[in-house]
Structure 1
Amino acid sequence: MTEWKEFSVAVNNEAKEAISSIFMELGSSGVSISDRNDFLNLPEYGKDTLWELNEEDFPTNGVIIKGYFNEFDDLDGIKLKLTHKISQLSEFGINIEHLTIAVTDVKEEEWSTAWKKYYHPVNVTRFLTIVPQWESYERKFSDERIAYLDPGLAFGTGTHPTTQLCVQALETCVFPEATLFDVGTGSGILAIAAHLFGTKKVKAYDLDEVAVKSARDNIKLNKLESKIDVKANNLLKDVNDEADIIVANILTEVILPFIPDAYNHLKDDGYFITSGIILDKKDKVVETLIENDFEIIQINQMKDWIAIISKKMKKEE
């Protein structure tokens, strides 16, 4: 059984988005934030939110940010890098107060069971609701799509801003008979959503074998094995065909060098949907897209996260 380490950072509220981004950059398999403001401001606990909230889980002051790494990661190196990167935040005008960092053990079986205790149906958009496989749910609208999900250890439950932004973008871009590549598929939720919105064929890729297994399990749960292919792959390396749409919810540092390859794997006028972009890196991503002959169609923001819809333009002869 895989052993996991939970890195817990207690800090002032101002630093939460930056430290969440640091966890993602270090390769965390998930990031959670316990913020008392979230608890106090939610109108109905456990109904229209992901978590069935317990007040005791929320700090009195500041926030607690948690990231997760497994026993095969360089845990000592991660802690050193985490501490170092947090110490550098003051150089960017982010004040750090009351910082503590703790590391605890989490067993895979315990983590998987914990999801089932807290996870409830989530209306990601007007047209898509994500439902855990162990809960019953009745459609509120005749045209509402339902995606069933068993989150387990992976990798996108549909509630993080970047995932929601991508789902909203898919609603805008998907058209009948479209083919789509989901790069960095994680739990498979975007691939599933794309099919529910009407794509003809979806191919999903992830470098992480655990994510690939999770995506396959969730695709099977939705009875979409014949519609969605999932493979372990490094982005689109050695993929030879083209798609009408590429969606990539991955780190900015991965997005930037991937942009030329995305262009080469899109049909003319194809759409490139990308997220995982923190606000202060938006301009660099936009600049790189334009340099690589993409037209920016739309830029959407949720909290400090950005999603960009761009279109492949024909290169001038």
Structure 2
Amino acid sequence: MAEWKEYNIHINREATEAVSNILLELGSSGVSVSDRKDFLTLPEYGFDTLWALDENDFPVDGVLIKGYFYEEPAENKTREVLVERIEALKAFDLDIQDFKVETEDVIEEEWANAWKKHYHPVPVTRYMTIVPQWEDYEKQHDEEKIIYLDPGLAFGTGTHPTTKLCLQALESNLRGGEYVLDVGTGSGVLTIASALLGASSIDAYDLDDVAVKSALDNVNLNQLDAEIAIKPNNLLNGVNVQADMIVANILAEIILMLVPDAYKNLKPGGLFLSSGIIIEKKETVLDSLKKSGFEIEQIHQMSDWIAILARKPEEDE
């Protein structure tokens, strides 16, 4: 009977995205995050969540990140490498002084499909609903847009505050016909939302091959492959285009590296939407955007997370 090794990392909230990516880069078949704030805070646009929540599953402080590895050999050094990679995040000024890594064996027969019963459709904006691919779901109103995702795939389900902030900003600012760049696409949820909101062309990039595969699968699930191109790339390195909008839902430290290339690849008047910014890094990101020439249009907050919408000035301003 096949066994999986479950890795449980108890760490502070700011490191969520980075540790999730490390697990996936090491070969995890999926990642889940338990954050007590998700349990205690009701969604803005409904009372359901994609994952049916049980308070006992949530740590009192920090987050619990789980990764799953299939039939590891006895000599496998995944745990050792995982700890080393997490320690290396200190170079990015992440507060990870105290974290714990534990492992547990999981029998595939008991786990492989049982988790699906906990997932349900969830409204993430006034007009967008994320639906697990196996769920039968009918639109609640004519203007509702449905994003189908496979929550078993990596890089999240679209319900994290950073992603919700991006989805709301996309819904408010896309008018149709835009050329959009999605940097660090992950599951592809922002790319899919952009297409559903009328963007005529989207180029999505991610450095990790697992993320590229995840995004491609979800784009195909939504039958949007004609509008979307997903490519492996390190941020916007080597990209030279003129986009109407660039969206990046990644760590604040990575956004700081991206800002100059984002400015270069936007049309005059184009928008740069950045999220994944913990509140303590807000002013640092704002300063970087302003120094590069951006004008700050909007700042939005949900829980401890910030999203910033900035505009490249028109040429005659």
> 2:5 touches 2:103 (CA, 8 Å); kept in 1?
no
Partner secondary structure for residue 124 of structure 2: strand
Q: In structure 2, do the counterparts of structure 1 residues 282 and 149 end up closer, same or farther at CA, with 3 Å as the change threshold?
A: same
Is 1:9 the equivalent of 2:13? Answer: no
Q: In structure 2, do the counterparts of structure 1 residues 223 and 295 end up closer, same or farther at CA, with 3 Å as the change threshold?
A: same
> 1:156 touches 1:163 (CA, 8 Å); kept in 2?
no
C-alpha deviation, 1:210, in angstroms: 1.1
Partner secondary structure for residue 261 of structure 1: helix
Q: Which whole-Å deviations, capped at 9, do the CAs of 1:255-296 have from their partners, x for residues lacking one?
A: 101100011111111000011111100100000000000000
Partner secondary structure for residue 53 of structure 1: coil
Match of 1:179 in 2: 179
Q: In structure 2, do the counterparts of structure 1 residues 137 and 85 end up closer, same or farther at CA, with 3 Å as the change threshold?
A: same
Is 1:282 the equivalent of 2:282? Answer: yes
Match of 1:13 in 2: none
Q: Which whole-Å deviations, capped at 9, do the CAs of 1:113-150 have from their partners, x for residues lacking one?
A: 45523221010001100111100111112101011111
Partner secondary structure for residue 263 of structure 1: helix
Aligned CA RMSD, in angstroms, stands at: 3.7
Match of 1:238 in 2: 238
C-alpha deviation, 1:75, in angstroms: 3.9
Structure 2: tracts of 5 or more residues without a match: 25-30
Partner secondary structure for residue 293 of structure 1: coil
The count of corresponding residues between Structure 1 and Structure 2 is 301
C-alpha deviation, 1:19, in angstroms: 5.2
Q: Which whole-Å deviations, capped at 9, do the CAs of 1:176-225 have from their partners, x for residues lacking one?
A: 21110111111111001011111111111111111111111111111111
CA distance in 1, matches of 2:247, 2:299: 14
Q: TM-score, normalised to structure 1's length?
A: 0.81
Partner secondary structure for residue 22 of structure 2: coil
Is 1:168 the equivalent of 2:168? Answer: yes
Is 1:309 the equivalent of 2:305? Answer: no
Match of 1:79 in 2: 83
**Which stretch has the larger CA shift, 296-305 or 230-239?**
230-239
Q: In structure 2, do the counterparts of structure 1 residues 284 and 220 end up closer, same or farther at CA, with 3 Å as the change threshold?
A: same
Match of 1:65 in 2: 64
Q: In structure 2, do the counterparts of structure 1 residues 252 and 28 end up closer, same or farther at CA, with 3 Å as the change threshold?
A: farther
Q: Among all aligned residue pairs of Structure 1 and Structure 2, give the percentage whose two residues are the same amino acid.
A: 48
Partner secondary structure for residue 125 of structure 1: coil
> 2:22 touches 2:85 (CA, 8 Å); kept in 1?
no
**Which stretch has the larger CA shift, 112-121 or 129-138?**
112-121
Q: TM-score, normalised to structure 2's length?
A: 0.81
Structure 1: tracts of 5 or more residues without a match: 11-15
Q: In structure 2, do the counterparts of structure 1 residues 107 and 262 end up closer, same or farther at CA, with 3 Å as the change threshold?
A: farther
